[in-house]
């Protein structure tokens, strides 16, 4: 109904759409911000190291060994990063399936975050692959390793990127001002959401299931047949903690895009997210206790790895869980943010423990990432933040949609 | 409890798979009954640690010939340029040699881990690596309980290096190079023949062997089988490895996938519809 009403403007927009995109590509605002000053040199260094990686082989940059073949790029950028992208599927579930409208205002930014995160984890993966030109082998051709957990994860990864793109696409349509596309794409949202949640549950747990065959290689305090379930549960509060942290940063950085009403709304959202996190962490902690009791490794608690395990479980699960409960009871937003930061550190610790630190903890030579690996890891995240900022400054993500796009 | 769960998943998974026609995700272990895997029997009691097999292997596969000598207590490892090693161990029976290379499992963890079937269990028995399919993700290295696949980190077109039991020779009816070179310590045949031969040796010379064939049960059975004069725990074998196959560890997860794909969207759609009608009612009341 909308399109016949504005046929002329539509055509005009179509003609100038490339010009419009080109003009939007140009940077805006001040150049010499502290973030730019710090991030630009790191990104440049990272890009140089990526070139070295492809011209001299993985070993020239990375410290990975024959015993610990997955280093920081997989353990941190892929395995840890995916957990933090979990906020997208949890929030789409709450908003589109349970219809809790109060979270609607943060859904776009969360989906955008998830989408970019996945895109860049795929990038980190390409860096880490020995033969990246064969990356499409599991997707096309006759090379389906269907008995592989990684095959499953790879497919879900690709499909979920598309699902998230569809979920986010109405914002792109609003930015470009294409009304008909907006209508079509908005109609696809529910399907993409249902598909996306299903894919997420499977590959969040699938990332844990990757380590099921490394039964003797992972320290018994971290290995159990329940790794997939633990990864899935923890992705819920990992993702939401990231939403809380990212929200509090965006609120400061992009404050010009928010109205006072938005701000108040966001406080309420953070407040109720802290409750979801608290209960999620309680389930996770309880599950860990069950697994621990079931595993009967009491004697291992007094070894150095045991202390390390207790630090993770108490310092980075139990403590933030209590903080979340407490901050919810007292409506203390600052405390919620502190809990979110500790939770995020705890998830990093947990994923690195499973994939790197407790993996072949008994090997003669331990894997310690080189400075070059760390620089590349950080620059991948920084590039992601740059693109995030570019999108936020141009598309209706944090702020309100143009009036013509208001549905209902 | 876990058995019930597994059975439950299996039942549901199989149903789900037939529904979607996803039968290809069956485990790689399900081979024809009449397939005879080939393997190699290695006899520690006969091996003299001459390293001739190492050198023959290196020459046959265009790898640098290893120069380092054996020394008891010094652990040599296979690497991206060496497919097999012989090590010397000081044991209760004196110095004993052990050869290490790919075990060619009946149900290889690496092949089930590989998402492109680059690691592949051939019907003849050897587990081979196919370069044109490999992505270089190194998930096979994560999964292999014997730490066999080795990756060439310093190459821009890296290879996975591991013993392939001279697959090219086997399909032409020849023996692997190492078996061809070795006097008596290596014995090639079908797995059934090898186990019979090993049992015969144990029965005929009980003073020479402990009554155990390493590889008969470990990791669900391997293509390489070991006889030794001392318990295998004295010879650097990882005693924690399980006897059931490694791919079975991911089976229940993989089998749950089709059911998740059927049940979760249905559930989500159901909740969506339920919340929708409630909302409409509210609106009407308003």
> Cβ separation of B142 and A97 shorter than 8 Å?
no
Work out how many domains chain A is built from and give that number.
1
Q: Provide, as residue numbers in chain A, all residues whose Cβ is less than 8 Å from the Cβ of B133.
A: 134, 137, 143
The architecture CATH gives domain B38-235: 2-Layer Sandwich (3.30)
CA atoms within 13 A of residue A209's CA, in its CB half-sphere? 30
DSSP 8-state class, residue B236 = T
CA distance linking residue A387 with residue A107, whole number of Å:
18
> Cβ separation of A55 and B156 shorter than 8 Å?
yes
In the block, which residue shows the tokens 């389906």? A144
- Largest Cα separation within chain A, whole Å, is 77
CA distance linking residue B177 with residue B10, whole number of Å:
42
Contacts of B274 (CB under 8 A, 6+ apart): none
CA distance linking residue A77 with residue A62, whole number of Å:
14
Q: Closest chain B residue to A214 measured between Cα atoms? A: B143
Q: pLDDT (tens digit, 9 = 90+) per residue, A288-337?
A: 999 999 988 888 989 999 999 999 999 999 999 999 999 999 888 899 99
Distance of CA A143 to the CA centre of its chain: 29
Task: Closest CB to B154: pick one of A59, A137, A217.
Answer: A59
Interface predicted TM-score (ipTM) of this complex, two decimals: 0.87
Average pLDDT value for residue range B30-49: 80
Q: Is residue A406 very low, low, confident or very high in pLDDT (cuts 50, 70, 90)?
A: low
**Cβ proximity of A46 and A375 under 8 Å:** yes
Closest by alpha carbon to A211, among A406, A345, A357?
A357
pLDDT at residue A15, rounded to an integer: 57
> Which residues constitute the domain of residue A242?
38-405
pLDDT at residue B22, rounded to an integer: 44
CA distance linking residue A219 with residue A313, whole number of Å:
15
Is A15 a member of any domain?
no
CA distance linking residue B26 with residue A113, whole number of Å:
36
pLDDT at residue B4, rounded to an integer: 57
Q: Is residue A176 very low, low, confident or very high in pLDDT (cuts 50, 70, 90)?
A: confident
Least confident stretch, A31-40, A92-101, B107-116: A31-40
pLDDT at residue B33, rounded to an integer: 55
Q: Closest chain B residue to A94 measured between Cα atoms? A: B272
B274 touches chain A (CB under 8 A): no
In the block, which residue shows the tokens 């409208």? A101
Q: pLDDT (tens digit, 9 = 90+) per residue, B16-30?
A: 444 444 444 444 444
Is A22 a member of any domain?
no
CA distance linking residue A202 with residue A155, whole number of Å:
11
Q: Closest chain B residue to A97 measured between Cα atoms? A: B272
Closest by alpha carbon to A220, among A305, A279, A312?
A305
Is A29 a member of any domain?
no
Task: Closest CB to B115: pick one of A67, A131, A148.
Answer: A148
Query: Is the pLDDT assigned to residue A279 strictly greater than 60?
Result: yes
B246 touches chain A (CB under 8 A): yes
Q: What is the dihedral of CA B68, B69, B71, B73, to 10 degrees?
A: 30
Query: Is the pLDDT assigned to residue B278 strictly greater than 60?
Result: no
> What is the CATH number for A282?
1.20.1630.10
pLDDT at residue B34, rounded to an integer: 63
Q: Provide, as residue numbers in chain A, all residues whose Cβ is less than 8 Å from the Cβ of B239.
A: none
Q: pLDDT (tens digit, 9 = 90+) per residue, B87-146?
A: 999 888 888 999 999 999 999 999 999 999 999 999 999 999 999 999 999 999 999 999
Smallest CA–CA separation between A215 and chain B, in Å? 8
Q: Is residue B232 very low, low, confident or very high in pLDDT (cuts 50, 70, 90)?
A: confident
Smallest CA–CA separation between A11 and chain B, in Å? 37
Q: With pLDDT > 90 as the criterion, what percentage of chain A qualifies?
A: 52
Contacts of B112 (CB under 8 A, 6+ apart): A147, A148, A213, B27, B28, B143, B246, B247, B250
Q: pLDDT (tens digit, 9 = 90+) per residue, B158-212?
A: 999 999 999 999 999 899 999 999 988 999 999 999 999 999 999 999 988 999 9
> Cβ separation of A60 and B154 shorter than 8 Å?
yes
Query: Is the pLDDT assigned to residue A75 strictly greater than 60?
Result: yes
**Cβ proximity of A99 and B279 under 8 Å:** yes
B115 touches chain A (CB under 8 A): yes
pLDDT at residue A287, rounded to an integer: 94
Collect contacts of A4-13 with beta carbons under 8 A, ≥24 apart.
Answer: A6/A179, A10/A178, A10/A179, A10/A180, A13/A176, A13/A177, A13/A178
pLDDT at residue A365, rounded to an integer: 80
Neighbours of B186 (CB within 10 A): 21
Is A18 a member of any domain?
no
How many contacts does A have with B, using Cβ atoms within 8 A? 172
Pairing of strands B38-43, B224-227: parallel
pLDDT at residue A87, rounded to an integer: 92
Across all residues in chain A, what is the average pLDDT?
Answer: 87
Better-scored residue on pLDDT, B276 or B227: B227
Average pLDDT value for residue range A253-278: 85
Structural element, H or E, at residue B119:
strand B119-121
């Amino acid at each position: 109904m909308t399109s016949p009403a504005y046929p002329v403007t539509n055509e005009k927009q179509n003609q100038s759409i490339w010009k419009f995109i080109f003009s939007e590509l140009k940077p805006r605002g001040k150049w010499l911000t502290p973030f730019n000053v710090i991030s630009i040199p790191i990104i440049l260094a990272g890009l140089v190291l990526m070139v070295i990686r492809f011209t001299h082989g993985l070993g020239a940059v990375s410290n990975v060994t024959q015993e610990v073949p997955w280093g920081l790029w997989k353990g941190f950028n892929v395995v840890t990063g995916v957990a933090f992208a979990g906020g997208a599927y949890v929030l789409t579930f709450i908003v589109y399936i349970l219809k809790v409208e109060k979270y609607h205002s943060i859904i776009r930014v969360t989906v955008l975050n998830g989408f970019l995160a996945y895109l860049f984890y795929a990038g980190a993966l390409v860096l880490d692959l020995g033969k990246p030109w064969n990356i499409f082998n599991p997707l096309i051709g006759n090379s389906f390793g269907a008995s592989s957990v990684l095959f499953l994860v790879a497919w879900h990864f690709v499909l979920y990127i598309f699902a998230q793109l569809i979920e986010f696409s109405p914002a792109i349509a609003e930015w470009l001002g294409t009304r008909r596309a907006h209508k079509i794409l908005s109609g696809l949202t529910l399907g993409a959401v249902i598909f996306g949640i299903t894919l997420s549950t499977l590959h969040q747990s699938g990332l844990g299931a990757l380590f099921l065959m490394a039964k003797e290689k992972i320290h018994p305090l971290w290995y159990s047949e329940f790794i997939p379930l633990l990864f899935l549960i923890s992705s819920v509060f990992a993702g939401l903690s990231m939403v809380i942290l990212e929200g509090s940063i965006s609120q400061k950085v992009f404050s010009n895009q928010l109205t006072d009403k938005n701000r108040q709304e966001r406080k309420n959202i953070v407040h109720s997210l802290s409750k979801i996190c608290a209960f999620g962490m309680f389930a996770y902690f309880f599950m860990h206790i069950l697994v621990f009791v079931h595993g009967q490794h009491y004697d291992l608690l007094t070894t150095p790895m045991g202390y390390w395990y207790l630090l993770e479980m108490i310092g980075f699960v139990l403590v933030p869980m209590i903080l979340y409960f407490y901050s919810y009871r007292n409506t203390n937003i600052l405390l919620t943010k502190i809990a979110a930061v500790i939770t995020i550190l705890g998830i990093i610790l947990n994923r690195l423990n499973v994939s790197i630190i407790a993996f072949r903890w008994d090997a003669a030579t331990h894997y310690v990432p080189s400075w070059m690996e760390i620089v590349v890891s950080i620059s991948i995240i920084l590039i992601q933040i740059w693109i995030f900022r570019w999108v936020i400054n141009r598309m209706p993500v944090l702020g309100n949609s143009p009036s013509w796009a208001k549905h209902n | 409890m876990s058995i019930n769960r597994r059975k439950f998943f299996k039942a549901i998974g199989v149903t789900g798979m037939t529904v979607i026609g996803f039968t290809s995700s069956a485990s790689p272990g399900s081979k024809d009954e009449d397939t005879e895997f080939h393997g190699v029997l290695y006899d520690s009691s006969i091996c003299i640690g001459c390293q001739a097999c190492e050198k023959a292997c290196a020459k046959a596969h265009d790898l640098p010939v290893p120069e380092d000598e054996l020394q008891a207590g010094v652990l040599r490892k296979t690497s991206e340029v060496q497919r097999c090693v012989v090590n010397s161990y000081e044991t209760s029976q004196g110095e004993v040699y052990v050869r290490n290379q790919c075990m060619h499992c009946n149900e290889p963890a690496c092949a089930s881990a590989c998402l492109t079937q680059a690691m592949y269990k051939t019907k003849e028995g050897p587990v081979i690596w196919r370069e044109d399919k490999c992505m270089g993700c190194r998930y096979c290295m994560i999964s292999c309980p014997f730490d066999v696949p080795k990756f060439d980190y310093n190459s821009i077109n890296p290879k996975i290096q591991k013993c392939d039991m001279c697959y090219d020779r086997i399909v032409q009816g020849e023996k692997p190079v190492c078996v061809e070179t070795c006097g008596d310590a290596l014995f090639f045949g079908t797995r059934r023949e090898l186990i019979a031969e090993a049992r015969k040796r144990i029965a005929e010379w009980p003073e020479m062997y402990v009554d155990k064939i390493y590889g008969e049960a470990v990791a669900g059975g391997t293509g390489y089988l070991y006889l030794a004069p001392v318990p295998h725990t004295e010879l650097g074998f990882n005693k924690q490895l399980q006897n059931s196959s490694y791919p079975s560890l991911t089976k229940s997860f993989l089998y749950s996938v089709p059911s998740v794909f059927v049940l979760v969207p249905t559930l989500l759609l159901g909740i969506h519809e339920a919340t929708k009608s409630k909302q409409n009612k509210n609106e009407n009341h308003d």
